[in-house]
Chain A
């Protein structure tokens, strides 16, 4: 499993509801990914964790305002322009459209685990394994 793709999962807000993220993390781990739980991180902290952990994909769990997420994506894109990002959590339809327009796939409540795993495989496709 040394060549498994590495996914960093973080919460962008200080809202601690962890159920959704926990289920997604389990599904990704069961699908063979190396999952790193980053906790509640600011944009700058997400960049640092992504670089330190040398990850192939970042998953943003949203429990707050979309503007905070947009800013975190901007910081990540500046530091690691090639790094794919996807997002899930409490995302109203308009927030999904906003993030989709930035090239970030979104998985609001009710998304299937199969779809999330499939997206993770596609987004990390250049990397062997997983």
Chain B
């Protein structure tokens, strides 16, 4: 059944009206003034670095992980062997995101779910297995800890493994995440510490890294998780600005770190690109300009190192279709192109089986190959900001930036980023878009090939997704028992007590967290301590 053709839509995906063509008068005067700057020059909309990808190709950086730590280890090595240039550890949602050990009743009741979304890592032992044989002293790693309450544990575990290998933390490169968008907007857990406690932990991580792990990106604001939950392009950017303001104001209030250093530490952020290729490329250009402006005008920061926003892109998982999944290889390529045209520093391409399961080895391989083809066969990497100077792109960049500032101001009027998460206001904005976009697909205004139209499918291959492994729960339970049996109990107890004192006081929690991990304190014990100390976030109504 084929519907009549959709009426053409002459707006961006975010609803910004589009003209049939653009000329010099369509670029607003204030933006026209900076149009002539080159990549590497403030305000950096044209890119942070004069040489672009010539001297530093974007990092091929795929999220990966499932099952037991050794399963995740094997997949990470597979990706590195195929040409990935950094790796992202994924921890099991049931345990890590909730800070539960596997013997928690809520996990036991769903034992088959365990390991479906990442490896189970309840103690430093399991993180060591996951990292076995991976040269973390020379490979850029994402330690996991995407969810706020899990981040201190995940980082301390990774760093403890590094220390035990004799790697000085001063030399260790990599990134944390601890993302408010994922935690409180996109992927709301059953239990979570309140946003104020999360902000304190993130400030602790930022300050600890500045002193002890200076090459590490301590936290990474992930607009992706707002975007793929429903915020449109300029809302995503506006909310990222509002989030950065919340972090920087907190660091300023604490007064322990100079603001240029703090801003540099917070300047590694993430966005998504969608199938609106030019809107999202323009969004990245607008983001760099807005970041530079924010630091200069609000905080008086003139350090250019801090003013250069560094961007990681994940292509939108929500654009990947369940139907005719091989079409997603094309979608992944186009969304990756958008990211590269926008000047991203690193990139993860969602798997073609994204709507069906976590990635199979083959889907993962294709995500890496897409990036390699773009890097090596297309000449895309030779010239920085190839879209610069296009009347259309410059006008769109200016418009997205303007709307993003308006959205950020709206959030500030409502009490700030944390307040709009607590009240559910941001969830409401995301939900309105979710419903509108789904309705547009439902009534024929938005075509999705293979889903709303062109549904005939002659492929002989059924993609049934990646099943994972079936022994993650049992092995994790045995390992938990072994830790409890074999660790120095008094030492673990004392370390947990010191961690509790840090949490209840104002000292940075990270030194005590490092001691706790070294003493083999487990995930669930830290989770219980957090819950006792800070209680549970009141989740806003989600429909």
Contact of B451 among A42, A68, A93, A110 (CB under 8 A): A110
Q: Write the chain A residue with the least CB distance to B321.
A: A110
Is B110's beta carbon under 8 Å from chain A? yes
Determine how close the nearest CB of chain A comes to the CB of B453; give it in whole angstroms: 12
Q: How far is the CA of A11 from the CA of B107 in the complex (A)?
A: 14
Contact of A64 among B112, B229, B438, B442 (CB under 8 A): B112
Please determine whether A13 and B442 come into contact, CB atoms closer than 8 angstroms.
no
Instruction: Identify which of B181-189, B216-224, B266-274, B488-496 touches chain A.
Output: B181-189
Q: Write the chain B residue with the least CB distance to A28.
A: B543
Please determine whether A90 and B323 come into contact, CB atoms closer than 8 angstroms.
no
Residues of B within 8 A of A55 (CB): none
Is A67's beta carbon under 8 Å from chain B? yes
Contact of A92 among B189, B441, B465 (CB under 8 A): B465
Is A125's beta carbon under 8 Å from chain B? no
Please determine whether B190 and A14 come into contact, CB atoms closer than 8 angstroms.
yes
Contact of B116 among A19, A25, A65 (CB under 8 A): A65
Contact of B542 among A37, A108, A112 (CB under 8 A): A37
Q: Write the chain B residue with the least CB distance to A116.
A: B442
Give residues 138-168 of B contacting A (CB, 8 Å).
none
Determine how close the nearest CB of chain B comes to the CB of A80; give it in whole angstroms: 19
Is A31's beta carbon under 8 Å from chain B? no
**Quick one: given A15-B187, A110-B322, are A26 and B97 in contact (CB under 8 Å)?**
no
Contact of A14 among B94, B441, B448 (CB under 8 A): B94
Please determine whether A26 and B113 come into contact, CB atoms closer than 8 angstroms.
no
Please determine whether A16 and B187 come into contact, CB atoms closer than 8 angstroms.
yes
Residues of A within 8 A of B112 (CB): 64-65, 67-68
Q: Write the chain A residue with the least CB distance to B93.
A: A15
Q: Write the chain A residue with the least CB distance to B430.
A: A19
Is B101's beta carbon under 8 Å from chain A? no
Q: How far is the CA of A90 from the CA of B351 in the complex (A)?
A: 14
Q: How far is the CA of A12 from the CA of B109 in the complex (A)?
A: 10
Bin the interface of chain B by size: 35 or more
**Quick one: given A23-B434, A40-B190, are A112 and B93 in contact (CB under 8 Å)?**
no
Q: Mark A22-54, 1 if CB is under 8 A from B, else 0.
A: 110111010000010101101110000000000
Is A17's beta carbon under 8 Å from chain B? yes
Q: How far is the CA of A25 from the CA of B431 in the complex (A)?
A: 11
Residues of B within 8 A of A40 (CB): 190
Give residues 59-112 of B contacting A (CB, 8 Å).
93-94, 97-98, 106-107, 109-112
Q: Write the chain A residue with the least CB distance to B117.
A: A15
Q: How far is the CA of A93 from the CA of B462 in the complex (A)?
A: 8
Please determine whether A16 and B543 come into contact, CB atoms closer than 8 angstroms.
no
Residues of B within 8 A of A37 (CB): 542-543
Contact of B357 among A19, A22, A92 (CB under 8 A): A92
11 further A-B contacts with Cβ under 8 Å, apart from A16-B97, A110-B451, are: A15-B187, A18-B229, A19-B228, A19-B318, A37-B543, A40-B190, A42-B110, A90-B357, A108-B356, A110-B321, A110-B322
User: Can you identify 28 A-B contacts, CB atoms within 8 angstroms?
Assistant: A13-B113, A14-B97, A14-B106, A14-B107, A14-B113, A14-B189, A15-B113, A16-B93, A16-B186, A19-B228, A19-B318, A21-B543, A25-B543, A37-B543, A43-B109, A64-B110, A64-B116, A65-B113, A68-B111, A68-B112, A90-B356, A93-B356, A93-B462, A109-B321, A109-B322, A112-B441, A112-B442, A113-B439
> A residues touching B (Cβ–Cβ < 8 Å)?
12-19, 21-23, 25-27, 29, 35, 37, 39-40, 42-44, 64-65, 67-68, 90, 92-94, 108-110, 112-114
